[in-house]
Structure 1
Amino acid sequence: MEFEAIPGVGKKTATALAELDDPERALETGDVAALSQAPGITQGRAARIARGAIRQEHGANGEFLATNRAGEIYRELLSLLQERTVTTYAERRLETFFPTSAESRVKEVRTFVEAAIEREADAEALDALEAVKPLDEPSDVRVRDRCLATTDAERYQEATEAIPELSVEVVEDARGLAELARGYSTVIAIDEAFAGVDVEGDVRVNPSALDEPVDIVPERPLAFFAANRDRLRAAIRVHRLTDLEPPCDLDALETALDRLDTDGTVAGDDELDRLSTAVDDLDAAVSTAESVANDHLRQSIREQDVTVEGADLLSLVEQGAGVDSLLSRELADEYAEAVDDAREELIGSLDLDSGEADIARRTFGDDPHFPVERNEEAISRLREELKTTRDRRATRLKRDLASELADERADAEALVRAALELDVELAVARFADDFDCTMPDFGGDEGRVAIDGGRSPLLDVPIEDVDPVDYEIGGVALLSGVNSGGKTSTLDLVAAVTILAHMGLPVPADAARVDRFEDLHYHAKTQGTLDAGAFESTVREFAGLATGGAGSLVLVDELESITEPGASAKIIAGILEALDENGATAVFVSHLAGEIRETATFDVAVDGIEAEGLVDGELQVNRSPVKDHLARSTPELIVEKLAGEHDTEFYTALLEKFE
């Protein structure tokens, strides 16, 4: 796919998209989450890019929404869909749904919707969805205890790009490796030339290291799963609470995640925990053991009566002996016992194994001293032994878990993607359920829209309180009716049904048939008479429709307000004549339907939203337009009511004026 051919995608964005693992799939499926992983692309921009790519794929490059009011209706409908999402992903993903005359795109979405409206989810599943987010790619993974070594500059560049988590060092020979081994715990030589070299330290020769990143830097997959642990757990929960078919063994993945800590280290291994605790607590444990020995000796000295004869004392002094010699002579057993207590305290508190215990016993020597002195060399050796054992075990556990999880990455991504897509499906399903929607019959070129039991979702009242409307349009017609009778809401309903059908979505009606239109022109009611410039601009716009509006659906609300009533009737009649000749489908709402019909040179169809009368001052209206019927006006109804209540010639004469 040529990225720069997508509308709105320049060279910089194309370069960013190329860094994704599978940008073509993401663009074709509208995967906003995957696209937003590209450098510098937000989810909002990802939605626009995906929409552009979908338009290009289906040849849907024309703008279906030809006027501001048509765009407003679309945005209101889109907002109603987005209000029913849980995740930001689904909210943005719905922005890739747009009305179009491209049948392949409409068919594609209808296939998606037909499965989506069968979905159901309870409150627990929706709650689980709230924690599902697109997966992150950790960008700060650095490993400082290992390095790669090479003698070749080209190999250096290859290694830097393949494994950026490790430092790559250039050396000349085995001596260079030995120097690196003094600064790194592990050195991995990636040149064949180093095969068989014997260097002190942990130096490994592995020419295929760049092809085995999991073994060389297990932190890479571990960091990914650690950073996304909560999101993956949420996705697992969503799959368990719904009928989604998981792409992997959920129990196995969850068990693996339980073994991973938030910092990317392996958790839940008792032996690693023991070694880590021993390293951390070593200094404190030595101090405690030392105190145990000294306390024991103090108590022994307090309780011991030591008698030294003069000749013995003189001999000890002449030999330069001090209290240690006295301890050796008089309290040797007590000292040995104190040191044994200290050793056992150290071994026990750190839970050392037999080999570690042998080293630990050297922490306190057998020669009597008071206070008891620790052997720093033995402590250092014990610390090094514990650290080495700990690090080796941690590395082995990391490699084992990383190898296991690396194979699960694709399935983990699919798991989250399915959960996020489920939110999109559920939003459509909830929209369809909340507004009693049905899938319309779509297609054909007769320019007709037929709605049975339609209820506009755009009205600011509960859907169950909306009166159902039956209305069928085709060709050019005028829609008449009393004030507040529902003419504008009927136009809104026709626009909403048409837009949703061209998006491939269900429509708010018991049944509907929508032919395919090239575009929708909806002109809202103008507030006040237009000035000369605005009037000219409006007439110019209709001139374009009159000459190139074949295949268009034109909805106009009270165009007569643009100028004086007498002139309005003539202008509207002329526009309708041109639209009729051009084969457009149009509905014009007007209070001048009678005058327009008389002025037009063809037989203009006039439909009417009929008022049934006034009851206690309230207008009673049949909201479904009656075909070929000029509806009575509100003033006529009021005069009729007065004529019925008062037997006077004045009201009768007024009523006759309406005949």
Structure 2
Amino acid sequence: MDIETIPGVGEKTAAALSDLDDPERALRDGDVAALARAPGISDGRAARIARAAIRREHGDPGGFAATPRAQEIYRDALDLVADHAVTRYAERRLETFYPSPSRTRVEEAREFAARAMDREPDDEIRGALAGVEPLESPPSVRVRDRCLATTDAETYARAQDALPEVSVEIVDDARGLADLARGYATVVALDDAFTGVEVEGDVRVEPDALEDPATVVPERTLAFFAHNRNRLRAAVEVHRVADLDPPCDLDALADALARIDDDGNVADDDRLERLQTAVDDLDAAVSTAESVANDRLRGAIEERDVTIEGADLLSLVEQGAGVDSLLQRELADEYAAAVDDARDHLVDALGLDDYADMARRAFPDQPTFPVERDEEVVSRLREELTTARDRRATSLKREVATDLADARDDAERLAEAALELDVELAIARFTRAYDATLPEIGGEGVAIEGGRSPLLDVPYEAVDPVDYEVGGVALLTGVNSGGKTSVLDLVALTVTLAHMGLPVPADSARVEHVEELHYHAKTQGTLDAGAFESTLREFGSLVEAVRSGEGGDVVVLVDELESITEPGASAKIMAGILEAFDATDATAVFVTHLAREIRDAARTELAVDGIEAEGLVDGQLVVDRSPVKNVLARSTPELIVEKLADERDGFYVELLEKFD
């Protein structure tokens, strides 16, 4: 697939999409999540690109919603379905469903919708989906506790490209390797020549390291899973509660994710935690150990009263007298006990038996007061603890990264499957919320049974069901507030959803496959001359296109076109437009209060459907919302006059006769 041939995709966008592993598949499947992983592509932009790719694949010229009101109906239809999505991804993915004149696209979407309608959404799945999002690439990783070493300039360049996360150094010999080992916890030598060389420190000879990055920089692998950890956990849960067929072992993935934290560090390892705590608390532990020794030694000195009074001894100490000799002579046992307390405290605080000997050397045997640490020993202890921590962490990371090294593709499929499930469940929830059904595509015109418009500003349960069938051209009449515009909206919504391949809010429906929907909303007030001319030109172009066959099959819905100018002229204009449509295969419904005048002005017989008012009860209209074929519905004024005529004779009876 030539990406640049997709409408709206330029050179820069095509280059960004080419960075994906399989951009053709993502475009073909409308995979918004995968497309949004391309550099600089937002999820909204990804949805538009996916929609354009689908159109190109099906030879779809677009333009189905041919008027502003038809476009509003499409947005309303999309919102009705998207309102039932849990994830933002599903909302965007649903934007790849659009009303299409392409039969193959409609059929493709209908197959997806049919599968989706069989889904059984429940609150447990919905709750699990709340944590699922498209997986993201993590921020770049930088590892500072290890480096690569080589004697070869070409290998040096390859290593920098292959493993930018770590430092790469050129060394001349084993001595250079030893120097690096003193500055890094781990050194990985890339040359066979270093095999067998003994160097103090953690130096590994791994000539194939560049081919297996996970063993050298496990942080690269872990960063992806750590960054997406919560999303993947949610995706695992979705697969479990929805009983989906997973692309990988869910338990193994969940266990691996449980071993790392959000920063990519290995969690729940006792040895690593104790080493980390020892490094973090070393200075505090040494200081506390000093205090323990000095408190004990101070108490012993103050209580001393045999050879030297305690107060005199303290005075001598403060004057800088021979403290070492005094302590050795008078308090050797007490000093030794105090130092032992300090050593025991430090060893206990570190909690690492294998570092106990070094920790004890932090307090020398030579008597001093106050008791002080040996800074050189403490510094060396800190270095060894830090190195041991880093090596332990790297070893554990390597272990987990090895388990996850080949799992990235499966993880992405796992998240995408969960997100796609949300798309299906949104359609399933929409279906159940509006008792929707997948309409039949074919025949002539539109037929709706038990249809209820969810676009009305009342609770859906309170909407009266409507039956309506129209083929060819028809005038739709009825009382004010009787539901004429609502019927037009229902027809427009049904036609739009049907051509999106989605279910419609009706007990059953049949929709002719058409190429365009023209819906003209009611004009607010009489148009000026320029706007009036523009409206006539618009209808003239549409009529010519339909007559010539260039416009294909269309549905035309018009709401009270008579408001564009004076009633007399409006009736004649509408009669002419309807005559033109009547001579074609177009399906057209015109809502009007001028049905009589239009029929009188027309040279052909025009069908008239009426929304009948059954009468007035307590000043309120009682209306049968389903249009009746071949009935010129009475107006509200006629009903009021009829009510008055029933109550008394004379003037009102005479007035009622004017409506015959």
Check whether TM > 0.5: yes
Counterpart amino acid of 2:603?
Answer: T
In the other structure, the counterpart of 2:595 is 593
Q: How far apart are 1:172 and its partner, in Å?
A: 6.5
In the other structure, the counterpart of 1:561 is 563
Structure 1 pair 297–156 and aligned structure 2 pair: CA distance change class (3 A) = closer
**Aligned mates of 1:347, 1:282 — CA distance in 2:** 10
**Aligned mates of 1:165, 1:108 — CA distance in 2:** 45
**Aligned mates of 1:636, 1:96 — CA distance in 2:** 49
Q: Which SS does the other structure have where 2:628 is aligned?
A: coil
Contact 1:447/1:551 (CA < 8 Å) preserved in 2?
A: no
Counterpart amino acid of 2:348?
Answer: G
Q: Deviations over 1:214-244 (max 9, x none)?
A: 1111111212222222222233333343343
Q: Deviations over 1:356-393 (max 9, x none)?
A: 22222222233333333432332233223222222211
Structure 1 pair 627–161 and aligned structure 2 pair: CA distance change class (3 A) = farther
Counterpart amino acid of 2:296?
Answer: H
Q: 1:339 aligned to 2:339?
A: yes
**Aligned mates of 2:384, 2:147 — CA distance in 1:** 22
Q: Which SS does the other structure have where 1:620 is aligned?
A: strand
In the other structure, the counterpart of 1:313 is none
Contact 2:290/2:342 (CA < 8 Å) preserved in 1?
A: yes
In the other structure, the counterpart of 2:451 is 454
- Tell which deviates more after alignment, 589-598 or 201-210: 201-210
Percent of residue pairs bearing the same amino acid type: 70
Structure 1 pair 521–330 and aligned structure 2 pair: CA distance change class (3 A) = same
**Aligned mates of 1:156, 1:103 — CA distance in 2:** 58
Q: Which SS does the other structure have where 1:422 is aligned?
A: helix
**Aligned mates of 1:361, 1:193 — CA distance in 2:** 41
In the other structure, the counterpart of 1:380 is 379
Structure 1 pair 557–429 and aligned structure 2 pair: CA distance change class (3 A) = same
Q: Which SS does the other structure have where 1:586 is aligned?
A: strand
In the other structure, the counterpart of 1:578 is 580
**Aligned mates of 2:652, 2:499 — CA distance in 1:** 51
Counterpart amino acid of 1:401?
Answer: V
Q: How far apart are 1:151 and its partner, in Å?
A: 5.8
**Aligned mates of 2:301, 2:635 — CA distance in 1:** 119
In the other structure, the counterpart of 1:519 is 516
Contact 2:186/2:391 (CA < 8 Å) preserved in 1?
A: no
Structure 1 pair 185–389 and aligned structure 2 pair: CA distance change class (3 A) = closer
Counterpart amino acid of 1:541?
Answer: E
Q: Which SS does the other structure have where 1:471 is aligned?
A: strand
Structure 1 pair 341–195 and aligned structure 2 pair: CA distance change class (3 A) = closer
In the other structure, the counterpart of 1:314 is none
- Length, aligned pairs only: 644
- Tell which deviates more after alignment, 387-396 or 161-170: 161-170
Q: 1:537 aligned to 2:534?
A: yes
Q: How far apart are 1:69 and its partner, in Å?
A: 0.6
Q: 1:638 aligned to 2:640?
A: yes
Contact 1:479/1:607 (CA < 8 Å) preserved in 2?
A: yes
Which residues of 2 match residues 155-166 of structure 1 at below 5 A?
155-166=155-166
Counterpart amino acid of 1:392?
Answer: R
In the other structure, the counterpart of 1:29 is 29
Which residues of 2 match residues 313-462 of structure 1 at below 5 A?
322-353=322-353, 355-442=354-441, 444=442, 446-462=443-459
Q: How far apart are 1:53 and its partner, in Å?
A: 1.3
Q: How far apart are 1:150 and its partner, in Å?
A: 5.0
Which residues of 2 match residues 262-273 of structure 1 at below 5 A?
262-273=262-273
Counterpart amino acid of 1:450?
Answer: A
| Alignment TM-score, normalising by the size of structure 2 | 0.91
Q: Which SS does the other structure have where 1:459 is aligned?
A: coil
In the other structure, the counterpart of 1:485 is 482
Q: Deviations over 1:25-84 (max 9, x none)?
A: 322222222222222221111111111111112222221100111001111122222222
Contact 2:121/2:429 (CA < 8 Å) preserved in 1?
A: no
In the other structure, the counterpart of 1:623 is 625
Q: How far apart are 1:149 and its partner, in Å?
A: 4.2
In the other structure, the counterpart of 1:212 is 212
In the other structure, the counterpart of 2:501 is 504
Contact 2:185/2:387 (CA < 8 Å) preserved in 1?
A: no
Contact 2:185/2:391 (CA < 8 Å) preserved in 1?
A: no
Structure 1 pair 69–602 and aligned structure 2 pair: CA distance change class (3 A) = same
Q: Which SS does the other structure have where 1:536 is aligned?
A: helix
Q: Deviations over 1:4-42 (max 9, x none)?
A: 111111111111112223322322222222222222221
Contact 2:439/2:509 (CA < 8 Å) preserved in 1?
A: yes
Counterpart amino acid of 2:606?
Answer: V
Counterpart amino acid of 1:272?
Answer: L
In the other structure, the counterpart of 1:602 is 604
Contact 1:547/1:582 (CA < 8 Å) preserved in 2?
A: no
Unaligned runs of 5+ in 1: 309-319
Structure 1 pair 536–413 and aligned structure 2 pair: CA distance change class (3 A) = same
Contact 1:26/1:35 (CA < 8 Å) preserved in 2?
A: yes
Q: How far apart are 1:321 and its partner, in Å?
A: 9.4
Q: How far apart are 1:513 and its partner, in Å?
A: 0.7
Counterpart amino acid of 1:368?
Answer: P
Contact 2:476/2:609 (CA < 8 Å) preserved in 1?
A: yes
**Aligned mates of 1:16, 1:151 — CA distance in 2:** 37
Q: How far apart are 1:414 and its partner, in Å?
A: 2.5
